[in-house]
Structure 1
Amino acid sequence: MVITVEIRKMYRYPFERVVDMHLNKYPTPLEEHVRDIKTVEEKKDLTGIIYRRRIATCNNVLPSILRKAHLMNVNYVYLEEESWLDREQKTMNIRSRCLTWTQIATLQEVSVFRESTANPNWTEFRQTGSIAVTGVGRLNRLFELFAQSFFSRGVKKSVNVMETILEQRYGRPCS
């Protein structure tokens, strides 16, 4: 079974500020589970699109009951984020996936930041995440339910972190 989580958010800040904040928000004391993010590849193509591949190191937040499965009992989880930033069109597409548990689960997200059509000083954000656990037998469903709850909370927390940092750096949102 595949579980999906979707969010839409309107940031009342210009595209450039929101994208800059996304690319530079971690690590931060506002999110203690993201330990580090390293850019492992960056290049610009002939059309001006900037491609980045980054690896995030995060604390393993699985509860001890789920860590009883040997493969799940690791200290850190590694996530890969690929992004394509088009400053001219004011869009950034992102594809993220978990690198740690690929033999038992598929965890991925697709996100888009784009200048709002309603107000050029705002930025639309859309993200869809999916989780499919296949490698832990009868515990598959339990892992999926945990992942769904964790993703939902994580997405909300990530949005709150973005809003907090944007407000701290740039003041109240544009109207």
Structure 2
Amino acid sequence: MVKYFFSEADIKSSWDHVFSAFWQRYPNPFSTHVLTEDVVFRMVTVDQQLITRRLLTKTNRLPRWAERFFPSTLSRCAFILEDSIVDPVNKSFTTYTWNLNHTKLMSVKERCIFQESVAHPSWTQLQREAWISSDVFGFSRAIQEFGLARFKSNQVKAMRGLEYALTNLYGDVHQRPPRPAMRETKEAQKHLTPATAPQKPRQYV
């Protein structure tokens, strides 16, 4: 089974500002678990879309109950690959992220779509989805529950980090976005349609 997460939020900043702030989020006091970020690949397509691949390193502290079952030599860092597609014509910015190591223990795939708000053109609408799974026999449910709880906590920090970058770049007129509405399913596979099911990340290199 897969744990599924969905949220939507209105960011009270223009799409251009959000797009610019996204690349300048780190470091910030809300995302101290992000250690490094490196651009691996970047190109502009013939239709003027910006394609980027980045490698991020984050801390990966295990919960206390898990430390009894997994070796102390297990890396405490997670390597995250992030692919992004920027469409400046349609003002759409999509990111795909997934972890490269510890995938048997827990796999987390995330998709975020930043678009200009239809109702408020001076705002940006963010739609975030995540799929969390584990292949550890006998502990997969507990690990997925832990992964979902940690993901919820980290996505709140990510929003605050983005707000922090917006404030640094454009002043303190940007207010914190309202708490996003969240929906989750315990048996996500039964509810996912082909349009929303996790897709294999697109490869550019």
- Report the TM-score when normalising by structure 2: 0.79
Question: Which residue does 2:66 correspond to in 1?
Answer: 66
The structure whose residues are more often strand, as a share, is 1
User: Match for residue 114 of structure 2?
Assistant: 113
Q: Structure 2: how far apart are the matches of 1:163 and 1:52?
A: 22
Distance 1:155 1:70 in 2: 28
Task: Kindly report which structure 2 residues correspond to 1:128-139, keeping only aligned pairs within 5 A, or say none.
Answer: 128-134=129-135, 136-139=136-139
Distance 1:157 1:72 in 2: 28
Map residues 11-160 of structure 1 onto 2, 5 A cutoff. Answer: 11-67=11-67, 68-70=69-71, 73-134=74-135, 136-160=136-160
8 Å contact from structure 2 (residues 24, 165) kept in 1: no
Judged with a 3 Å threshold, the aligned counterparts in structure 2 of structure 1 residues 34 and 131 are, in CA distance, closer, same or farther, namely same
| Root-mean-square deviation (Å) | 1.8
Q: Percent same amino acid at aligned positions?
A: 23
3-state secondary structure, aligned to 2:138: helix
Q: For 1:153-172, what aligned pairs fall within 5 Å after superposition?
A: 153-171=153-171, 172=173
CA–CA distance in structure 2, aligned partners of residues 21 and 38 of structure 1: 16
Once the two structures are TM-superposed, the CA of residue 37 in structure 1 deviates from its matched residue by: 0.7
Deviations 1:116-166 (A, max 9, x none): 1112211110100110111x2111111111101000111111112212321
- Tell me the amino acid that sits aligned with residue 93 of structure 1: T
Q: Which has the higher helix share?
A: 1
Query: Are 2:99 and 2:109, in contact at CA under 8 Å, matched by a contact in 1?
Result: yes
Deviation string, structure 1 residues 54-97 (Cα, Å, up to 9, x no partner): 01100112224324323982121011110000111110111110
Q: Detail structure 1 runs of 4+ shifted over 6 Å in the superposition.
A: none
Length-normalised TM-score, structure 1? 0.91
Q: Structure 2 CA distance, aligned partners of 1:26 and 1:173?
A: 18
Cα distance in 2 for residues equivalent to 1:81 and 1:27: 17
Gaps of 5+ in 1: none
Report the CA distance shift for 1:48/1:101 in structure 2 as closer, same or farther (over 3 A).
same
Q: Which has the higher contact order (CA 8 A, sep 6+)?
A: 2
Q: Letter of the aligned partner of 1:81 in structure 2?
A: E
Deviates more, 1:25-34 or 1:1-10: 25-34
Q: Any conservation in 1 of the 2:8–2:127 contact (CA below 8 Å)?
A: yes
Residue 6 of structure 2 corresponds to: 6
Distance 2:170 2:64 in 1: 40
